[in-house]
Amino acid sequence: MAMTLRLPAELESDLRTAAEEDRRSVHQTVVLAVETWLALRETAEVKADPDALRALAEAREAIRDGDIEYGSDAVRALLDRRRAS
């Protein structure tokens, strides 16, 4: 998407300085900033969702206990065992 970004002079100056310090173009710096903001927003949504936190805790326990299945064949076998139970 092509767009024009209008920034206050001080923010534009700070952005250019940051881009130079990081050896990136202003465009790359803005893209990185937007990606970071979106990731932080998504993280905040997950942290605010008790079901998501519970699922993450269960996943962590499964990893700790070695109860992990890798690959499509392993997953199919796991599903077959669950259906048989």
Query: What is the per-residue pLDDT across 20-50, written as a single tens digit (0 to 9) for each?
Result: 999 999 999 999 999 999 999 999 998 899 9
In a domain, 2, yes or no: no
Are 64 and 44 members of one domain? Answer: no
Q: Indicate whether 72 pLDDT > 90.
A: no
Say which residue the tokens 């790359």 belong to: 28
Q: How far apart are CA 74 and CA 76, in angstroms?
A: 5
In a domain, 1, yes or no: no
Q: Indicate whether 69 pLDDT > 70.
A: no
In a domain, 43, yes or no: yes
Mean pLDDT within 43-70: 86
Domain count, the chain: 2
In a domain, 23, yes or no: yes
Torsion from C-alpha of 52, 56, 61, 65, nearest 10 degrees: 120
The residue range of the domain holding 14 is 9-48
Are 58 and 27 members of one domain? Answer: no
In a domain, 4, yes or no: no
In a domain, 65, yes or no: yes
Q: How far apart are CA 48 and CA 58, in angstroms?
A: 17
Proportion of the chain above pLDDT 90, given as a percent: 53
Six token digits for residue 76 = 């199919």
